[in-house]
Structures are given as structure tokens and as C-alpha cells.
Structure 1
Amino acid sequence: MRVSLSALLLCAIPCVPASALADDGRGLARGGDPAQVSISGVSSGAAMAVQYAVAYSASITAVGSIAGPSWGCAEGSLSRAVETCLCGRSPQAAKVEAARRLAELNQIDPLAAGRPQRLARAYVFHSPADRTVRPPAGQVSARFLAEFTGRAVAVDDGDPADGSDEAGHGIITPGPGHDACRVGEQGDDAGATFVRSCGREDNVGRMFHALFGDGSAYDPTRRAADIPEADLWRFDQGRLIAQVTAERPPVADDAALVPFWPITAYSTARRRNLDMAATGYLYVPPACRPAGSGCRVHIALHGCRQDPRHFALAAGYNNWAEHYRVIIVYPAIAPGTPLAGSACGTPIPEGLGYEPNPNGCWDWWGYLDSSYRPGRYLTRAAPQMRVIAGIVAAVTAPVPP
């Protein structure tokens, strides 16, 4: 999760042809069970997953956070996001009260006696060796979710037996071909994908057991073998973005930094599309492909600097989809031009006049809001969350037999 002051000229988002719909021609029309919708993510995707679960707690049943900062920590400030949130320095008690105030103002879903109506299960993984988002951030997230939901949170900090307690920033899944488990001298940037392998450690397997399990012991043998790449289908996310942007929500400028010239703020086509990609991804396990199957729905959000398609193929969600009868949907942020650099504690000046997002992060600090509407990013009015809500509505809409 890297944040830089450098601003970049970013490419426009192309239109997606009809052929980009899911391979069976049904797109997002899956007839998923609207009473069994959950969400999770890694890094900035984890932050967005918790934001969405809190804002839509009357319809989201469970949430997972992997290597992410805590809810509401940034308070609309880029400098606070980097200097405070990535270091885990935000007290959760004040944030729980802030969430309850948003509910009282009807900016997020209403609560009953201070508790969500449906959100009941949560899982938090944070490696003690994460150098990008420091471990205290995961501890704050777990305490926040426990107090907000009034229920115990499944907390996972890895296993010394396979080195996953020393893993760097990212999501852990078994198998070859992923980033190294342990962080070396190069730190978290030693990995290219932020999908790590630490023996048999499996973040998604343990998370789904916590979110969907029936109380029986976790059984790693239930994990399916590698899923064919052709079974990862695309869907037209651009249409859902357009439904939100047609209402013209105010969106902060991004920026270009021209050498030897002052910073000039303006809105690129990427920003006008809410920094989101035109194509998202979808995995429908065989048990959920017949009409009327009524499967669970899980939204999985990639992190900063992660390729959305690679995340959807490699992170391990698809390997557990058949066992738990769950449709996995992968919304996507459009890539920028990734910039590496230090994370926790990096000084960032306020008042930049623009809101850069070069690393393709989800909006967990309010980069779409700026001075137009500070704090919107935590509410149901947040543009990216409205797109996700549109995805959920499409996947759970009734499908004729």
C-alpha cells in the first residue's frame, strides 16, 4: 500500500465490448442469495471491505480483513493515512462511536441497540512482520470489529511452523509460483504480486472457515486443486460505473506533475471513472452455475499495486468456492503507474490541492472526496461503494428459471 506525492498522467479507461461478459453469457445475473453476502480484501482492499461492511451492515453478513488499515483512521487525510493509519496508531473506541454517529445520521445502515442488524462474523489476518501496514493496524481492526458487531472476531497472525508469522505484506496461499514468504532485506517490495506462499498457510481457507464454518474443525483438504484459468470470467464493470457517474457525484481532481513546473490539478478520464477499471472478474463454481442454485456471494477486493486478474486467479478464493457454495466477484481498480517507497511514517504534507492514487488503491482515505465532501468515503454515498452495491444487486437479483 504505497502512497506518493508524485502525480502522473493516467490512461483513460476503454469501453468494454459485449464479448467481455462472463463466458456463459449471463454476466452478473447469478441469482445469488441476498441473505448471504460477504466481503473481504487485502491491503487497501481490506480497508474498503471493512468500510463497505460497516456502511452496508444490514445486508452484509461477514467481513474479512487481510493486511489492512483500520476503519475510519484516515479521516479524509492523505498524510494521516500514511503517517498514522499504516502504523496502526488509531484508537478504535473513538472510531466505533464515529460509526454509530454515521448510523444515527442515516449515512450508513441503521443499527439496532448500537449493533449491526446482520453483520455478525469477522476475520482479521495480519503478519507480525508486515512492514507496509504495521501489525498494530490489524489489532485495531480486530478490536473495532469486535466492539462494533458485539461479537468475537477470528484473529490470525500466522504460524511459526511454516514462517507465515514472518510473512511480509500481502495475502498468503499455498502452492508454487508466488512471492517469497519471509520478508528479506528489500522489505515488502521484494515481492512482485503480494500473493505469498508460506507452506500450507491459507488465508482464504481460514477466513472462509471463520465466516461460513459450522463450528467443525478447519480442514485444509477441502481446498480444491488449481482452478482452470478459463473458468475465471470477466464482467462489464464499466456499465455499473456509468450508472454512478451519470448522477454526477463530485469527484476530486487527480493531477499531473510536470518537471520544473508547478503542480496543476485536473481530472483525467481515469478519475472520472472513479479510478475503477472497466472490467471486473467472476468465478462461479460448478455447483452455483445452474439457475436457482441460491449460492452465497462473496466480494473479494485486491490491494494496491496488485493486478486484479492475477489476484483473482492466484489469491486462493476460487479454490474454496465449491466447498462453501459461494460465487466470488472481483471488482477492480484501474492500474496507475506504480510507485514504490516507504509506507508507515512517511511524512506527507497537507493541502496538496489534488488527490493522487498512482498505485491503484481503493479509496480508503477519501481521495475521491477532497474538499467537495470530506468523509463521504465512509458512507453509502461513496462512489466506489455505490459501484460495489450495484454489483451485489446484480449478482443477487432473481434469475428466471
Structure 2
Amino acid sequence: MPHRMNVKHTGLRVTLAVCLGLASTMGGTLAWAARNLPGIGDPGNVTVSGISSGAAMAVQYAVAHSQSVSGVGAIAGPGWGCAQGRVSQAINTCMCVRETPAATLPMAQQFASSGAIDRLMSGKPQSLSRAFVFHSPDDATVQAASGDAGIAFLRDFIGQAPTVDRGNATDGSNHAGHGILSPDGSDSCAASPRDSSYVRHCGQEDNARDALHALFPQRPTDASQRIAQIPEGDLQPFDQTPFIDEVTAASPYIAPDTLWLSFWPYRSDRRDRLDMATTGYLYVPPSCRAAGARCGVHVALHGCKQDVKTFARTTGYIHWAEHFRVIVVYPAVQQGDNPVSESCSAGTVPSLADAAWIQPNPNGCWDWWGYLDGADRTRYLTRAAPQMQVIERIVRALTRSH
């Protein structure tokens, strides 16, 4: 049985209101949405952050689009390009640090010179100038040495050191487990077998607040500016399918992820959607809803095994969006049906896994090691990466002119 294509292309010839599933709000409190959303996002004020695989994707996106992204945040993520297209290296080196991650700046510079990512000016990005990194010393999933490699890369690529937070002893966040820290977190601060959301409660530690402050330093944080309760209806679902379809209609190679009759590789319906979910979420704070408002756009990317709606409601971005005058959009990967343990105690992953006929993604991670790629196992780092193309189209829809 051949690889299934099953590509449907409707194009992007629909209004942003329809694309984002907001047309139904016309009679409610968000009646502004369908009429005024196009052009609300400021194309000169786009930032991105994420947790774990979402942190890796956030950095990949910012590096590939360094002419249009001004800031990036990485929470509990590995360094840029660490996996170099190999799942064995992603686990053995980038997560478990069984060997020291190699410097990847020369690869980024080579990509920029070739045009695979945005070109640099005098060796530095034209827009990307700010970065934030949180990495707990006790993170046992993506160990601290991998986070250190990410810090070094961002410092050298951007040309100035990122704002770095390693937690503190006052609230125990220096011993936090793998995840993003939020006052609304449901998981304990330290890692536990009962972890489910990977949104951790460590007192008032607030990674989203600190990331946004680092990326928007002109708006000093004030604890009183955190909106405690966000109405359920203000977090809006949107349909990712038109954006996915536009990418897949170009017929890029997409690696198979499963077997037919236990021996022939093919692509599941999920893989035909680039492992992405059909639904993402969007939050537009009150001050950004008025006609003529121009707010920043922040792309917040969940991590492996995380439900995107839970991530959106509990991580804190929406509670600070009004203060920082930023629209927050949550693209999503579909979660896997049979997640596997990410414990480094499971042992070394053999290099044979890199040459396997299928490239599964059981934990619903963003593509930070090239699981969608074929012979070119570096595509996932470039503007040609399929998932990054989807994110780019979502951002473009939010920032396009009337």
C-alpha cells in the first residue's frame, strides 16, 4: 500500500473570521471579532515562546523568521538544532545529555547564508533581539546542560545574552520538575508520578509573565495587572485545517508514521495533517478588540503530552495579555493515542531508530527532530518545515492588512 496522500486544498480564500471560527460570536460579547480582527495584529511586533518541544519549535521558528520575530522564549527546552535530524540524538543527547551537545551556531549561519532561514545582517538577525529562558536545575526530562546549550546558542546568535531564570529557593522553583510554572498550575512543583498537565504550581512563580516581560521590557510588570478570571468564551477555538491544507497542497514529502499489515509503511490521517490538531485557540484581550487597535501577536506553543486548551487556560499568557497588549494564539499538535515514557532511565536509544521506515510521534510533540522529514533531515529547522509553514500562515492571517 503506498503512502497515503489524501490531500485536500481549499486554499485560504476565506476571511480571517471564518478561518478562526469566530463568525458565531457576532451576537455575543465578542461581536467585534468577525468585523475587526484582520489587521489587529502588528506585523512588526511578533514574538513566540513555548515549553519543552514547544520551546524547541519556538526557537526554530524565531531563528528561521528572524527578520519578522522580535523575541523568543524557551521554557524547559533543548538547544536549537541539537537533534540534527536524529531521534536517537534527540533523546540521548538533547534530553538525557549522555554526551555534551555540540555547538550549532555554524549550522544556523550556513542556513542563513543559503537562504534556508532568514538572512543575517552583519552576522546578526535583523529583528530578533530579545530572548528568555527558564530551565530548572532539577528538570529530569530535558536536563539542565541541554538548556545551557540553548542559552549559549541564543546569546551567540542574537548577539546578547537572554534573560535567564533558573528558579529560586524561596518558592522551590529551583527544584521544579519538567514543565511550565504558573500560579494556576495543577501539577506539584517537583516532579511526581501523578504529573498530568506539566503546568506546575511553585508559589507565585509565573513563567508566562516573566517571558512576556523579557520580550516586552517597555511594559514593567505589576502583579496587580494580572487578570485573575478570564471568561470562558473569551478563549476562542479556531480551525487550523485551512492553514494545514494550504501547506499539504504543495505536496511536500511527509514521512510515514505507522505500518499497514505490520510491514508496509504508510501515513495515518494524523500524519497527513502534519501531526497537527484541527483546532487551535486564540485570545484577544479587551484593549485589542477596539477598531483601529494594533497589538502585538504572541505565539504560545504547548509541549508534548499537553492538551492545548488546558495549556491556554492555565499557563498564564491570557492573564497577562491585557497588560502587555498582546494577542495570544495557541497553535496545536494532536496528542498521540499511546504516549510513551520520556524517562532517561529507559536506557540509550540505538541509532537504528534513525533509519526506521516509520517516524512516529507518540507523545504529540512538535517536530523538533525531523520526524516529518525524509532524506533531508534538516528541513525541520528551515522555513520549509511543514509545521513552521502552518504557524507562519496563522501569524500572517492575524497580522495582514484590512
TM norm structure 2: 0.88
SS in structure 2 opposite 1:36? Answer: strand
Cα distance in structure 2, aligned partners of 1:219 and 1:128: 27
Cα deviation per residue 1:192-213 (whole Å; 9 max; x = unaligned)? Answer: 1011111000001111111101
1:367 aligns with 2:371: yes
2:242 corresponds in structure 1 to 239
Displacement of 1:131 in angstroms is 1.0
SS in structure 1 opposite 2:34? Answer: coil
Cα distance in structure 2, aligned partners of 1:31 and 1:214: 20
Cα distance in structure 2, aligned partners of 1:277 and 1:309: 12
Higher relative contact order (CA 8 A, sep 6+): 1
Contact 1:305-1:338 within 8 A present in 2 as well: no
Amino acid aligned to 2:268: T
Flag the 1:108–1:197 CA change in 2: closer, same or farther, 3 A. same
Q: How many pairs align?
A: 375
Contact 2:240-2:277 within 8 A present in 1 as well: yes
Cα distance in structure 2, aligned partners of 1:31 and 1:233: 16
Cα distance in structure 1, aligned partners of 2:374 and 2:224: 47
Amino acid aligned to 2:270: R
1:124 aligns with 2:128: no
Cα distance in structure 1, aligned partners of 2:340 and 2:169: 29
Cα deviation per residue 1:28-75 (whole Å; 9 max; x = unaligned)? Answer: 635211110000000100000000000000000000000111110111
1:102 aligns with 2:111: yes
Alignment counterpart, residue 26 of structure 1, candidates 11, 20, 34: 34
Contact 2:19-2:239 within 8 A present in 1 as well: no
Contact 1:75-1:375 within 8 A present in 2 as well: yes
Cα distance in structure 2, aligned partners of 1:128 and 1:141: 14
SS in structure 2 opposite 1:355? Answer: coil
Structure 2: gaps spanning 5 or more residues: 1-6, 11-16
Contact 1:355-1:370 within 8 A present in 2 as well: no
Structure 1: gaps spanning 5 or more residues: 1-11
Contact 1:244-1:387 within 8 A present in 2 as well: yes
1:9 corresponds in structure 2 to none
Flag the 1:272–1:288 CA change in 2: closer, same or farther, 3 A. same
2:158 corresponds in structure 1 to 149
Cα distance in structure 2, aligned partners of 1:276 and 1:395: 19
Contact 1:338-1:360 within 8 A present in 2 as well: no
1:200 aligns with 2:204: yes
2:76 corresponds in structure 1 to 67
Q: Identity of paired residues, percent?
A: 50
Q: How large is the RMSD of aligned CA atoms in angstroms?
A: 2.2
1:47 aligns with 2:56: yes
Cα distance in structure 1, aligned partners of 2:380 and 2:19: 33
Displacement of 1:277 in angstroms is 0.9
Q: How does 1:2-401 map to 2 (within 5 A)?
A: 21-22=21-22, 23=25, 24=30, 25-26=33-34, 29-88=38-97, 89-91=99-101, 93=103, 95-175=104-184, 178-184=186-192, 186=193, 190-214=194-218, 216=220, 218-256=221-259, 262-344=262-344, 346-348=348-350, 349-350=352-353, 351-371=355-375, 373-399=376-402
Displacement of 1:335 in angstroms is 1.6
TM norm structure 1: 0.89
1:7 corresponds in structure 2 to none
Flag the 1:288–1:20 CA change in 2: closer, same or farther, 3 A. closer
Cα deviation per residue 1:82-113 (whole Å; 9 max; x = unaligned)? Answer: 111113445453x1111000000100000011
